[in-house]
Structures are given as C-alpha cells and as structure tokens.
Structure 1
Amino acid sequence: MMLTPDEIAEINLLCQFNLGNTQEGLKIHSHDADPNTVAAAERLFARGLISQHDGGYLTSLGLDAAEHSQHLLTILRTSTP
C-alpha cells in the first residue's frame, strides 16, 4: 500500500505539532502557506484531528495520530538496515 500525496501532507503536518506542549498549536496562513499544507489542515479538521481548519490544536484523536506519526518518523530515522 502506497501513501498518497494527500496522506503524506497530512502526516507531515501532524509531525509539526509539539508533543511536549499540547497547549502549543499551529497556525497555517493560507495567503503564504503551501497550498498542500492548507488543504491537509482542512482535511485533518474535517476528520476531527485538529481544532481549526487552519491549524489550531490537536484533538484527542489528533494527539494519538501525531504521536504515532512522530514515533514512526523517529524509528525510520534511527533504524539501521
């Protein structure tokens, strides 16, 4: 199963959240942000993973998704073949 470009953009956005401080959110400015990032934020909001269509805070489900995304990225970056 291959990831779609939309899924990659969503995972990239989830990886930008600071898991050490859940009171720290993200603000995506549609006038200067990459259109793929803007669209990813809207999809994550529609799925209930973030609190605002332009970022905001992680919801409970979003926190779970961000933790999994960031853990996977850490594993991929530190594992040796």
Structure 2
Amino acid sequence: MQFSSDLIDEMRVLALFNLDSVNSGIKAHKAADPEVLMAVSRLYAKGLISLPDGGYLTDLGIHCAEQLQTALRILGTSEVN
C-alpha cells in the first residue's frame, strides 16, 4: 500500500484525538495549514468525524483512531512522519 501525503495528513489528524474521552474533540481553525483543513474535510466526508471543521469522532472514527494509535504505540512513535 502506498502512503500518499493525503493519507498521512489524515492519520496525523486522527492521532490528535484523545481517546480517553469521547467528549474530547478537535477544531480546525481557518488559520490552520491547508493540508490539515483538507484532511479534516476528507475525514468528515468519510464519516470519521462529526463536523466538517473537526468536532468529535464518530463510532467508526473511534474504531479507526484506536487502531491507528495502537499501531503507532507498537511501532514506538506517537506521530506519523
């Protein structure tokens, strides 16, 4: 599988979510990097987050973020490079 820059940007955003609380969301401000804004928009379109500018993880988003964050812990990093 190829890791496109879009996919990496989406993984970076998913890694930002605090999985210890489902009431913890994120907000992508208009001043954020364009890559982040587009990644957030794509995650919303995929049904992983609740709002086009961030919000909360959906049930599918929680599952996806858990898997991603587990993989990152196993691989010994907290961030996608």
Provide TM-score, normalisation by structure 1. Answer: 0.91
Count of matched residue positions in the alignment of Structure 1 and Structure 2:
77
Q: Does 1:46 align with 2:45?
A: yes
The structural deviation recorded for 1:76 is 0.8
Identity, % of aligned positions:
48
Match of residue 3 from structure 1:
3
Match of residue 57 from structure 1:
56
Provide TM-score, normalisation by structure 2. Answer: 0.91
Match of residue 35 from structure 1:
34
Gaps of 5+ in 2: none
Gaps of 5+ in 1: none
Q: Distance in 2 between matches of 1:65 and 1:27?
A: 19
Match of residue 19 from structure 1:
19
Alignment of 1:61-80 (within 5 A): 61-77=60-76
